[in-house]
């Protein structure tokens, strides 16, 4: 197991699933962890479900596998690590800039960025793919990762050390039937990760794109049906 004692990690999309597990794993390895997400209260679908069921937002969140970011941060603090839960939308560049500055000010540095935030809540073949959902998926899955990487970059260079992790997918190399937007963004993340590795090498910054990993997104999608041409 890697020893990450003294390292500071930022994880996006960390309210549940892979992001939450990433945060806990980093803490187990010794890192201090900053948990970021748009957070449950901002999810309109959860709000609709809560209203329809006559339940509280928290009850619906728990039933669907969400864990409040503050609870995860508290769990990490019980391990003896520092942790902070911060609201951050990866499509909001001003907010990202402010969050990374806050992390740098409070933790002294940023060493690790895990670009985990993503969306996959629909399937549609290309003729039926809505432009709105295509744009949203690109904005969150790809541009969101770029936004965070760009804002984290100066802090990694400042350390002369950094680790970038991009959550890609096998769909990014083989495609996914009915998942044009998801597959395209995950393929693009591989290119972004490779470019970051080329540019970051001189600063001891490594960059990797990983996947396929079973998690909440895959469960929602019912798996990724793959077909080779």
Q: Which domain holds residue 92?
A: 8-221
In a domain, 166, yes or no: yes
Orientation angle between helical segments 144-159 and 180-200, nearest 10 degrees: 20
List all residues 6 or more positions away from 66 whose beta carbon is below 8 Å from its beta carbon.
Answer: 15, 16, 40, 46
Is 226 a domain residue?
Answer: no
Burial code (b: 16+ CB inside 10 Å, e: under 16) for 112-130 equals: bbbbbbbbbebbeeeeebe
Domain count, the chain: 1
**Residue 212: active-site member:** no
What is the β-pairing status of strands 205-210 and 112-115? unpaired
pLDDT at 215: 52
Q: Which residue has the tokens 């187990």?
A: 28
Backbone angles phi, psi at 224, to 5 degrees: -110, 105
Q: Does residue 44 sit within a domain?
A: yes
Q: Determine the distance from the C-alpha atom of residue 130 to the mean position of all C-alpha atoms in its chain, rounded to a whole number.
A: 24
pLDDT at 214: 54
Backbone angles phi, psi at 192, to 5 degrees: -65, -45
Rounded Cα distance, 130 and 134, in Å: 6
Phi, psi of 89 (to 5 degrees): -95, 120
Q: Which of 131, 155, 182, 212 is catalytic?
A: 182
Does any domain span residue 1?
no
pLDDT at 228 over 60: no
Do the domain assignments include residue 38? yes
Cα 193 off chain centre by: 14
For residue 82, tell me if it sits in a domain.
yes
Which tens digit of pLDDT belongs to each residue from 156-168? Answer: 999 999 999 999 9
Say if 2 falls within a structural domain. no
Only one residue has tokens 């500071």, namely 8
d(CA 36, CA 38): 7
Whether the pLDDT of residue 140 is over 90: the answer is: yes
Domain of 57, CATH number, reads 3.40.50.720
Domain-located, residue 133: yes
- In angstroms, the CA 68 to CA 153 distance is 28
Q: Among 184, 92, 189, 90, which residue's Cα sits nearest to residue 134?
A: 184
- pLDDT tops 80 at residue 229: no
| Mean pLDDT of the residues in the chain | 90
Is the confidence at residue 9, as pLDDT, over 90? yes
């Amino acid at each position: 197991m890697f020893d990450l004692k003294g390292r500071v990690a930022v994880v996006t999309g960390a309210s549940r699933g892979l992001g939450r597990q990433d945060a806990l794993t980093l803490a187990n390895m010794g890192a201090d962890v900053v948990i970021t997400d748009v957070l449950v209260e901002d999810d309109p679908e959860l709000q609709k479900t809560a209203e329809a069921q006559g339940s509280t937002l928290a009850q619906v969140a728990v039933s669907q596998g969400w864990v409040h970011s503050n609870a995860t941060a508290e769990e990490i603090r019980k391990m003896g690590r520092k942790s902070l839960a911060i609201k951050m939308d990866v499509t909001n560049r001003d907010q990202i800039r402010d969050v990374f500055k806050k992390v740098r000010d409070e933790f002294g540095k940023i060493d690790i960025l895990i670009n985990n935030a993503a969306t996959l809540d629909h399937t549609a073949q290309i003729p039926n793919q809505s432009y709105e959902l295509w744009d949203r998926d690109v904005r969150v899955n790809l541009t969101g990762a770029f936004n965070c990487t760009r804002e984290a970059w100066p802090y990694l260079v400042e350390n002369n050390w950094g680790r970038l992790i991009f959550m890609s997918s096998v769909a990014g190399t083989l495609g996914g039937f009915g998942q044009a937007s998801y597959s395209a963004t995950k393929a693009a993340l591989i290119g972004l990760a490779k470019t970051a590795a080329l540019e970051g090498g001189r600063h001891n910054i490594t960059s990797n794109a990983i996947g396929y990993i079973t998690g909440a997104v895959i469960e929602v999608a019912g798996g990724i049906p793959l077909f080779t041409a």
